[in-house]
């Protein structure tokens, strides 16, 4: 190859890279306009973002949620199941927003911890340390049990047990 062909190939590679970077930038910035192609190549179909795919996958049938919660209830966690549903701002499972089913199932998977946390918080409230609850939830990136990530239940429980009256 002569130097002229090398330059042309390099320019084509750079144009293709620029197109890919522009597509990536627009996908990540939320812009939904198609990317302008500066070459004579056919236009590419925009890829669906992984977040959009995950959101579509997260919608779970009510029957599945009902089955899981029913098993937890029969295992002796009826009051905790009721509290999980009420934390969604409703009284019945059918009134829960379907988009919250995934989060509800994650909470139900750790219902034993949820029940223990609830019990510990009630005990700590009786001891008079409830004024420390907002800081505890804040430390675990939540405002209440309703939005506490189930992945943080164990560390939240540990910290809740350690609350003491200020001197």
Q: What is the pLDDT of residues 118-131, one digit of tens each?
A: 999 999 999 999 99
Over residues 46-84, the pLDDT tens digits come to 555 565 555 555 578 999 999 999 999 999 999 999 999
Instruction: Give domain status of residue 48, yes or no.
Output: no
Q: What's the total number of domains in the chain?
A: 2
| Rounded average pLDDT over 10-21 | 72
Instruction: Give domain status of residue 21, yes or no.
Output: yes
- Say yes or no: 146 and 67 in one domain: yes
Q: How many C-beta atoms surround the C-beta of residue 54 within 10 A?
A: 10
pTM: 0.59
Structural domain containing residue 8: 1-36
């Amino acid at each position: 190859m002569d130097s002229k062909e090398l330059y042309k190939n390099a320019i084509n590679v750079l144009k293709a890279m620029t197109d890919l970077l522009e597509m990536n930038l627009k996908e990540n910035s939320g812009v939904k306009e198609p990317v302008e192609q500066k070459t004579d190549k056919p236009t590419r179909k925009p890829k669906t973002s992984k977040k959009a795919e995950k959101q579509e996958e997260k919608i779970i049938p009510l029957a599945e949620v009902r089955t899981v919660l029913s098993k937890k209830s029969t295992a002796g966690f009826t009051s905790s199941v009721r509290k999980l549903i009420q934390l969604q701002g409703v009284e019945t499972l059918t009134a829960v927003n379907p988009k919250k089913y995934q989060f509800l199932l994650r909470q139900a998977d750790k219902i034993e911890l949820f029940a223990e946390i609830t019990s510990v918080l009630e005990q700590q409230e009786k001891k008079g340390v409830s004024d420390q609850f907002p800081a505890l939830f804040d430390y675990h990136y939540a405002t209440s049990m309703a939005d506490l990530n189930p992945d943080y239940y164990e560390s939240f429980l540990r910290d809740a047990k350690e609350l003491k009256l200020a001197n």
